[in-house]
């Protein structure tokens, strides 16, 4: 009888906390969103499943490890993959190998729009401080407004790892919702005539320019914001691998196989931070609301800045390029293009919008570097 009692004591059921079943439901919602709604499935599926698994009592996936016990599998992935920045930086290698800076090089003015669309980062930062978050937490929440998943993870792991689950999920879910969040804000700030402004086709960009660009940007960013060096280095290495055409095998690996491997590790790493006892607090809801504030202000900041630029430009730019500065690549550029076409059938700004879109990625990396160097 005693043995039976001892056995029962060691089952998961006997050790269940109230938070665990709630987190199973949260995990199931992510899995459902990934499979049924096709919302960022590459991330939400592994994250959601990991959330369910780490909340299994006595499962040991997060064991810290010691003399007699090996480290838990998910903790291992988190500790050596995410805490060391390896995984988010490797994702950036792949992103670099998939990014075409051509539209930005052809129209360097759009770099300013990529910077203006970081407005939400700072708005959410101050909003977070007002809601009682600490400075490192506020930096991690603010960076959600950059609409860049790996950068959000990089910043949070460095500054406030205890809220990683909340910031990562907030960033990725709002990125998937860019086509819903942005249009009403843009329409409120622009007239149909402004949205229909047509733009001259972009000039062709030479291979030499495309090779020199990542080198030049990496140099400038690293010198000004050294804390951004890991992200920008990997991003630009990936990019120069692709643009040079000299290492096709490596480029293909970075774009596909390596990217897929690190994406799985990223999903598990983020999911493993979502332990019920840590995750189920009011702060998570606050992070979610602040994330939306961040996205909205970034969109508005970009559009307003584009309109201000038009006061000084002889050849007007379409203000929709401003909202594309939100670096959700290429969703934000697609939204701009679609709204442009709605306003004027002869308005084709998809490629133009890619300029501020990729500039936004650089802008978010710079913002993250500033935050990390100031708050750490």
Q: Footprint of other proteins on this chain (CB under 8 A)? A: 201-202, 330, 333-334, 337-338, 341, 345-346, 348, 350-351, 354
Nearer to other proteins, 95 or 290 (CB): 95
The C-alpha atoms of residue 222 and residue 217 are separated, in whole angstroms, by 8
Residue 328: CB minimum distance to other proteins, A: 13
**Shortest separation between residue 334's beta carbon and other proteins, angstroms:** 5
In 10 A of CB 106, how many CB atoms?
Answer: 18
Cβ proximity to other proteins, 303 vs 335, nearer residue: 335
Nearest distance from C-beta of residue 52 to other proteins, angstroms: 32
Among residues 275 and 326, whose Cβ is nearest to other proteins?
326
To the nearest whole angstrom, how small is the minimum distance from the Cβ of residue 102 to other proteins?
9
Q: Which of 329, 333, 325 is nearest to 303 (CA)?
A: 325
Minimal distance, residue 142 CB to other proteins, in Å: 29
Question: Which C-beta is closer to other proteins: that of 195 or that of 286?
Answer: 195
CB atoms within 10 A of CB 304: 17
- Kindly tell me which of 199 and 292 has the beta carbon lying closer to other proteins: 199
Answer yes or no: are the C-beta atoms of 156 and 163 closer than 8 Å.
yes
Distance of closest approach, residue 79 Cβ to other proteins, in angstroms: 37
Nearest CA among 91, 372, 375 for reference residue 231 = 91
Q: Which is nearer to other proteins, 276 or 330 (CB)?
A: 330
Give least dist CB 156 to other proteins, A: 30
Whose Cβ is closer to other proteins: residue 217's or residue 354's? Answer: 354
Interatomic CA distance for residues 323 and 37, integer angstroms: 25
Which of 27/360 has CB closer to other proteins? 360
Question: Which alpha helices (DSSP H) does 133-177 contain, by range?
Answer: 135-142, 149-159, 164-176
**Block residue for tokens 């860049």:** 148
* Nearest by Cα to 77 from 92, 65, 94, 68: 65
DSSP 78: I
Give the Cα separation of 297 and 88 in Å (integer).
25
CA angle 280, 284, 289 (to 5 degrees): 150
| Residues 129, 293 contacting (CB under 8 angstroms) | no
If you search the block for the tokens 């010691």, which residue do you land on?
A: 66
Helices and strands, number each (H, E), in the chain: 22, 0
Instruction: Tell me the closest approach of the beta carbon of residue 89 to other proteins, in angstroms.
Output: 25
């Amino acid at each position: 009888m005693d043995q039976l009692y001892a056995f029962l004591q060691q089952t998961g059921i006997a050790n269940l906390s109230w938070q665990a079943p709630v987190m199973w439901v949260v995990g199931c919602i992510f899995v459902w969103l990934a499979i049924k709604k096709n919302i960022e499935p590459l991330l939400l599926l592994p994250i959601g499943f990991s959330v369910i698994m780490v909340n299994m009592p006595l499962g040991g996936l997060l064991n810290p490890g010691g003399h007699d016990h090996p480290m838990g599998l998910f903790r291992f992935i988190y500790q050596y993959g995410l805490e060391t920045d390896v995984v988010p930086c490797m994702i950036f290698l792949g992103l670099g190998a998939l990014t075409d800076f051509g539209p930005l090089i052809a129209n360097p003015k759009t770099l300013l729009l990529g910077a203006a669309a970081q407005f939400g980062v700072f708005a959410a930062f101050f909003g977070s401080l007002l809601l009682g978050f600490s400075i490192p937490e506020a930096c991690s929440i603010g960076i959600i407004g950059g609409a860049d998943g790996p950068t959000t993870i990089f910043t949070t792991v460095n500054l406030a790892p205890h809220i990683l689950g909340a910031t990562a999920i907030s960033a990725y879910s709002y990125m998937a919702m860019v086509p819903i969040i942005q249009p009403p804000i843009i329409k409120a700030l622009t007239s149909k005539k402004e949205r229909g402004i047509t733009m001259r086709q972009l000039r062709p960009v030479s291979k030499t320019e495309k090779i020199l660009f990542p080198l030049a940007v990496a140099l400038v960013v690293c010198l000004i914001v050294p804390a951004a060096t890991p992200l920008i280095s990997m991003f630009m290495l990936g990019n120069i691998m692709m643009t040079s055409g000299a290492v096709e095998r490596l480029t293909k690996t970075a774009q596909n196989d390596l990217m897929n491997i690190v994406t799985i590790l990223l999903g598990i790493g983020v999911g493993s931070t979502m332990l019920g006892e840590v995750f189920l607090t009011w702060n998570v809801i606050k992070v979610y609301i602040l994330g939306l504030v961040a996205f909205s202000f970034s969109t508005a900041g970009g559009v307003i800045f584009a309109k201000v630029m038009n006061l000084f430009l002889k050849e007007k730019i379409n203000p929709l390029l401003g909202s594309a500065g939100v670096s959700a690549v290429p969703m934000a550029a697609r939204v701009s293009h679609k709204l442009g076409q709605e306003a004027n059938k002869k308005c084709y700004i998809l490629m133009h919008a890619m300029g501020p879109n990729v500039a936004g990625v650089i802008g978010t990396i710079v913002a993250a570097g500033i935050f990390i160097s100031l708050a750490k």
